[in-house]
Amino acid sequence: DTAVSQTPKYLVTQMGNDKSIKCEQNLGHDTMYWYKQDSKKFLKIMFSYNNKELIINETVPNRFSPKSPDKAHLNLHINSLELGDSAVYFCASSHRSVGGPGEQYFGPGTRLTVT
């Protein structure tokens, strides 16, 4: 009965590979997010989807492609992985209200290591 789940929890891969991270939420939220937290703990939004529609797309290399098959899922596919992609990736979800996003619920994170 986990609220926001991510798989895998750890991902170790080599440069140049393509990998995907999956996220699912069972909270009935209509908005989902991907964040990246680097080794210095700087946390930054990458993408946000509302009802399967992309609403936020920060300056992220186009090697990163989010896909939302339905409101409860938001996956992140990364092509041609680079050393600098090593980070912890967090998925989150929330309701979207008139005044902006409400309380965001975060997943446990996926620690990606590119060697």
Partner 1 sequence: SQQGEEDPQALSIQEGENATMNCSYKTSINNLQWYRQNSGRGLVHLILIRSNEREKHSGRLRVTLDTSKKSSSLLITASRAADTASYFCATDARYIFGTGTRLKVLA
Task: Please tell me whether residue 83 adopts helix, strand or coil conformation.
Answer: helix
The one among 8, 17, 27, 44 contacting partner 1 by CB under 8 A: 44
14 vs 103 by CB, closer to partner 1: 103
The CB-of-110 to partner 1 minimum distance in angstroms stands at 10
Distance CA 64, CA 34 (A): 11
Distances (CA, A) of 39 to 31, 46, 88: 27, 16, 8
The CB-of-66 to partner 1 minimum distance in angstroms stands at 14
Distance CA 95, CA 66 (A): 19
The CB-of-98 to partner 1 minimum distance in angstroms stands at 8
Q: Are 44 and 106 in contact (CB under 8 A)?
A: no
Q: Are 6 and 108 in contact (CB under 8 A)?
A: yes
Binding flag, residue 92, partner 1 (CB under 8 A): yes
The CB-of-80 to partner 1 minimum distance in angstroms stands at 25
The one among 11, 107, 112, 114 contacting partner 1 by CB under 8 A: 107
Say which DSSP state 1 is in.
Answer: -
Which residues of this chain interact with partner 1, rule CB under 8 A? 4, 33, 35, 40-45, 48, 56, 58, 90, 92, 99-109
